[in-house]
Amino acid sequence: MNWRKLDTPFSGAIIESLRSSDAVLLSGALYVARDKAHERLCGMIARGESLPFPAEGQLIYYMGPSPAPPGKIIGAAGPTTSYRMDAFTEPLLRNGIKGVIGKGRRGADVKKMLQHHRAVYFATYGGAAAYLSKCIVQSDVIAFDDLGPEALLRLAVKDFPVLVVNDIYGGDLYEDAIRNGKRL
Amino acid sequence: MNHKKTIHTDAITQTIVDLIFQCSFTFPPEMTELLRDMRNCEELEIARGSLDILSRNAEIAAEERIPLCQDCGIVTVFLEIGQDALIEGIPLVEAVNGAVAQAYAKFYLRKSVVGDPLRRLNTGTNTPCFIHTDIVAGDTVKVTVYLKGGGSENMGALKMFRPTSGIDEILQFIENHVIEAGPNPCPPLFLGIGIGGTADAAVLNSKKAVLRGIGSIHPDPAYADLEAKIKARLNKTGVGPLGFGGISTVAAVYIKEAPTHIATLPVALNLNCHSLRYGEALL
């Protein structure tokens, strides 16, 4: 694999340079939110409140870690299935989020939204949660502590591996896999 | 008068704690081998790379005691209770749930259970678990613990076919479903198929099916052939490891069939992710 190293947050130029199937090692901040945290963030946006973190150019990771044992930064930390966040994606993109990371297919509406708002959908390795935890160098709860494993976290990551699934040009890694399968 | 063997619920609790520990952090050797075999059959770099990462993940999980997956699963416990076994101690349901709560706290596993499907408050203990008991001959208790994540559970399916539906129709349903699920359930899949019975029995059999043993062959040659045929067909869909493309869409296919009604032909699918976590013990 030809890994390209990128720092977060993202600029528009980085987004334009990414194509589906590109392999990227991310370093910098990732904001962690899954189902319930998304519901709350979108509620805040709907009420006109400001988000608990500066969203401009940032990336959201769909994840709910296992608890950190004593002496560890975080527990297992692999991606959760992304389609459950489809209904909550548009308000976050509108507020400046430039990338989302999870696993699994997105709805047709989300793929269009990504092109419209110029943002990228990445997948990381589902079920490689112990492996991925090794790329996390810091983890802090920044909101919704009451949600337990669904709290909003800010991670600092180093060389966190992701693959571009949906780029801003309509590319789709998962659909390409099925298309190639027709030739098997 | 038959001899009765006494089994204390403390022993059942301890066994379940041990089994949860084992399958949350370690793969059996045959799983390690299977991952390597699939990797060596792949040509695409993206598929080989994904399977390498899954192998490395299992090594890190075992060495550093980090769970194989952050979704440490909802727990299903199967108990085959010999009719000549006498269970002593606290109520069995409490012993089993106590074991789950103890294991999930002690080993820092994620608690993923909400107490009510609509109110959705996390119970904080990963209980209750789901217990299925069968009364069998003998004086032993066989305990099987099965952990399954929500992402792959969401991809389960049940279809009630007409009794005159051909096998091709069933195969097409399975293929369509696995393609539609695609990357979501984290392939390579361990695909459990419950055929026959009632709707509920088929779904339960689709769960029991994947617990038959890695590398095991169905005892009925006709079903063994069918499993091989389904596997070959699904591995031509292109889905591949984690849906990124390749030939390892399913790691194994397991069918569990059951007698059924003259009007029905239920087919249930259990798409288990690559992280097949279960363990069993005999008391």
pLDDT (tens digit, 9 = 90+) per residue, A148-161? Answer: 889 999 999 999 99
Interface contact flag, A64 B46, Cβ < 8 Å: no
Taking Cα atoms as reference points, which of B202, B209, B203, B222 lies closest to residue B276?
A: B209
Q: Contact, B113 vs B128, CB < 8 A?
A: yes
Which of A81, A130, A163 has its CB closest to that of B68? Answer: A130
Q: Does any domain span residue B50?
A: no
Q: How far apart are CA B135 and CA A25, in angstroms?
A: 53
Q: Fill in the DSSP letter of residue A143.
A: E
High-pLDDT (> 90) share of chain A, %: 93
Q: Torsions phi, psi of B118, nearest 5?
A: -105, -35
Mutate to test the interface with A, among B35, B50, B57, B120 (most CBs of A within 10 A): B57
Nearest residue of B to residue A72, measured between CA atoms? B66
Question: Which residues in chain A have their CB less than 8 angstroms from residue B41's CB?
Answer: none
Shared domain check, B18 and B128: yes
> Residue B141 burial by CB count (10 A; 0-12/13-18/19+): exposed, middle or buried?
buried
**pLDDT (0 to 100) of residue A182:** 73
Average pLDDT, stretch A53-57? 95
Convert the pLDDT of each residue in A10-37 to its tens digit: 988 999 999 999 999 999 999 999 999 9
Q: Contact, B142 vs B246, CB < 8 A?
A: no
Shared domain check, B221 and B89: no
Shared domain check, B263 and B204: yes
Q: Does any domain span residue B166?
A: yes
ipTM tops the 0.90 cut:
yes
Shared domain check, B215 and B114: no
Shared domain check, B255 and B228: yes
Q: Which helix (H) or strand (E) holds B47?
A: helix B45-64
Q: How far apart are CA B198 and CA A160, in angstroms?
A: 46
Shared domain check, B189 and B90: no
Which of A65, A129, A177 has its CB closest to that of B243? Answer: A177
User: The domain containing residue B118 runs over which residues?
Assistant: 5-26+68-148
Instruction: Check which CATH number belongs to the domain holding B92 and give it.
Output: 3.30.360
Shared domain check, B141 and B9: yes
Question: Which residues in chain B have their CB less than 8 angstroms from residue A180's CB?
Answer: 238, 245
Q: How far apart are CA B188 and CA A127, in angstroms?
A: 11
Nearest residue of B to residue A132, measured between CA atoms? B57
What's the structural domain count of chain B? 2
> Residue A137 burial by CB count (10 A; 0-12/13-18/19+): exposed, middle or buried?
middle
A27 touches chain B (CB under 8 A): no
Q: Torsions phi, psi of B74, nearest 5?
A: -95, 145
Q: How many Å lie between the alpha carbon of B68 and the closest alpha carbon of chain A?
A: 6
Mutate to test the interface with B, among A40, A74, A81, A105 (most CBs of B within 10 A): A81
Q: How far is CA A23 from the centre of its chain?
A: 14
Splitting chain B (283 residues) into consecutive groups of 10 residues, what average pLDDT does each group show? Answer: 83 98 96 97 96 97 97 98 96 98 98 95 96 96 97 97 96 98 97 98 98 97 98 97 97 98 98 97 97
Q: Domain boundary at B148, B163, B187, which? A: B148
Task: Return the structure tokens found at B205.
Answer: 């059999």
Task: Return the structure tokens found at A114.
Answer: 């990504």
Residue spans of the domains in chain A: they are: 3-181
Q: Contact, B152 vs B73, CB < 8 A?
A: no
Q: Domain boundary at B148, B182, B212, which? A: B148
Nearest residue of B to residue A134, measured between CA atoms? B60
Q: How far apart are CA A45 and CA A91, in angstroms?
A: 7
User: What's at A33, amino acid-wise?
Assistant: A
Mutate to test the interface with B, among A1, A131, A133 (most CBs of B within 10 A): A131
Nearest residue of A to residue B249, measured between CA atoms? A181
Interface contact flag, B70 A179, Cβ < 8 Å: no
Interface contact flag, A179 B238, Cβ < 8 Å: yes
Interface contact flag, A163 B244, Cβ < 8 Å: yes
User: What are the start-end ranges of the H helices in chain A?
Assistant: 12-17, 35-46, 89-94, 108-117, 129-133, 173-181
- Helices B92-106 and B9-25 cross at an angle (nearest 10°) of 40
3-state SS, residue A8: coil
Shared domain check, B112 and B174: no
> What CATH fold (topology level) applies to the domain A3-181?
fumarase (3.20.130)
A71 touches chain B (CB under 8 A): no
Q: Does any domain span residue B38?
A: no
Shared domain check, B200 and B125: no
Nearest residue of A to residue B107, measured between CA atoms? A69
Distances (CA, A) of B189 to A13, B71, B151, B156, B182: 38, 16, 12, 12, 10
Q: How far apart are CA A136 and CA A72, in angstroms?
A: 10
Question: Which residues in chain B have their CB less than 8 angstroms from residue A63's CB?
Answer: 70
Residue B125 CB contacts under 8 Å (≥ 6 apart), including other chains? B100, B101, B104, B105, B111, B113
**pLDDT (0 to 100) of residue A12:** 87
Q: Domain boundary at B79, B114, B148, which? A: B148
Shared domain check, B184 and B108: no
**pLDDT (0 to 100) of residue B2:** 59
Task: Return the structure tokens found at B42.
Answer: 């792949």
Q: What does pLDDT average to over chain A?
A: 96
